[in-house]
């Protein structure tokens, strides 16, 4: 019987969401007949990780440590099989600005964006660097943590003040300013097949009742509408899925990911961001997309665990020194 440790928690802002995801994954693994145990962690050390007795680690951690490469480096050093992308791909995907640069090289359209200027003596940060409306968000956080929508100068003043205030307690959190694109929000999940090749799952359209798919809309409220296989032209669906796969393969994404897009009224789609460890809560989109193809949560989790173990068994060790 394959043994798996499911990790939840972590030191980042999405800790509580991570625990919900990990709990759901743990229960699904048990249902699938795996020898699974749940570990709620903060920032595990290499020594701790090396002491874990298991075949596979399923790290359901969200945020910079858990899915931004730091944990993955430790797992690689410990030579433990794990679900999800390896360290380099995780680090690249967690950096929204870096992902944008790679997307542009892949001819995938993405909104203009710049790093937020806190004011350095030459600028007080009061002037928006892009034409309003814009979105301010952290470069390396997920679940819409720290998201600010700015439709006019008053919104910008309020949001930029909040970002500068946040910098006092989170000095390492870097924010970006991104051109706001109006349109339908779509997400394309990708999942590896038995041979490890990424395949696109059904598209899902996200319709938040209050117009913004923020942290509250994702996890707290129950008024967001999710539409599987939304009414779209076949060429639009195929185009979005193809670009999601192209970006994932270019980044070196492994096993699973969720890629978010906006579709404008004129039929043009634009990349928002990529998530290498999507949520696994009851409202999460990756399990929903897999379910549409007939794969329940237990089957999905078991599939990912076995893919991780099989790939680890046949792959040569990678030096991280």
**Bridge partners, residue 186, by sequence:** 205, 261
Same domain? 299 vs 244:
yes
Pair (121, 254) in one structural domain: no
* Predicted local confidence at residue 46, as pLDDT: 97
pLDDT (0 to 100) of residue 318? 42
* pLDDT for position 321: 37
Are 114 and 274 in contact, with CB atoms under 8 Å apart? no
Answer yes or no: is 148 within a domain.
yes
- For strand 175-179 and strand 134-138, is the pairing parallel, antiparallel, or unpaired? antiparallel
pLDDT band, very low/low/confident/very high, at 75 (cuts 50, 70, 90): very high
Give the C-alpha separation, 89 to 67, whole Å.
10
Q: Report if residue 317 sits inside a domain.
A: no
pTM confidence score? 0.89
> Does 59 reside within a domain?
yes
CATH code of the domain in which 165 resides: 3.30.1490
Q: Is residue 98 part of a domain?
A: yes
Is residue 101 in some structural domain? yes
Q: By residue range, what is the domain housing residue 7?
A: 3-84
What confidence tier does 134 reach under pLDDT thresholds 50, 70, 90?
very high
The pLDDT of residue 220 is above 90: no
Residue 263, domain member (yes or no): yes
- Which band of pLDDT confidence, cut at 50, 70 and 90, is reported for residue 141? confident
Specify the CATH number for the domain of residue 253.
3.30.470.20
Same domain, 297 and 246: yes
Overall number of domains in the chain? 3
Mean pLDDT over 247-276 rounds to: 95
pLDDT digits (tens, 9 = 90+) for 93-122: 999 999 999 999 999 999 999 999 876 544
**Are 202 and 287 found together in one domain?**
yes
319 band by pLDDT with thresholds 50, 70 and 90: very low
Q: In what order do the strands lie in the sheet containing 175-179?
A: 113-115, 175-179, 134-138, 148-150
Task: Answer yes or no: is 313 within a domain.
Answer: no
């Amino acid at each position: 019987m394959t043994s798996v440790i499911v990790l939840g928690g972590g030191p980042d802002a999405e800790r509580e969401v991570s625990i919900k995801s990990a709990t759901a994954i743990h229960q699904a693994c048990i249902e699938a007949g795996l020898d699974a145990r749940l570990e709620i962690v903060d920032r595990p050390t290499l020594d701790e990780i090396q002491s874990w007795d298991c075949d596979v680690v399923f790290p359901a951690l969200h945020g910079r440590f858990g899915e931004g490469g730091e944990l993955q480096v430790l797992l690689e050093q410990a030579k433990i099989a794990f679900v999800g992308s390896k360290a380099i791909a995780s680090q690249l995907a967690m950096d929204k600005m870096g992902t944008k640069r790679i997307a542009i090289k892949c001819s995938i359209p993405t909104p203009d964006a710049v790093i937020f200027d806190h004011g350095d003596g030459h600028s007080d940060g009061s002037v928006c660097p892009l034409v309003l409306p814009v979105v301010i968000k952290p470069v390396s956080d997920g679940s819409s943590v720290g998201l600010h929508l700015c439709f006019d100068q008053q919104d910008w003043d309020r949001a930029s003040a909040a970002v500068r205030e946040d910098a006092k307690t989170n000095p390492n959190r870097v924010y970006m300013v991104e051109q706001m694109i109006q349109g339908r929000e779509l997400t394309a999940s990708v999942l590896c097949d038995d041979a490890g090749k990424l395949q696109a799952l059904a598209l899902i359209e996200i319709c938040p009742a209050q117009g913004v798919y923020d942290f509250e809309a994702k996890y707290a409220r129950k008024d967001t509408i999710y539409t599987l296989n939304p009414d779209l032209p076949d060429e639009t669906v195929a185009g979005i899925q193809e670009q999601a796969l192209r970006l994932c393969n270019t980044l070196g994404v492994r096993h699973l990911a969720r890629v978010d897009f906006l579709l404008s009224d004129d039929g043009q789609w634009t990349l928002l961001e990529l998530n290498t460890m999507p949520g696994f809560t009851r409202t999460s989109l990756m399990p929903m997309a897999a379910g549409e193809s007939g794969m329940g949560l237990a089957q999905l989790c078991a599939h990912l665990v076995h893919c991780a173990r099989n790939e680890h068994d046949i792959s040569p060790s990678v030096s991280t020194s």
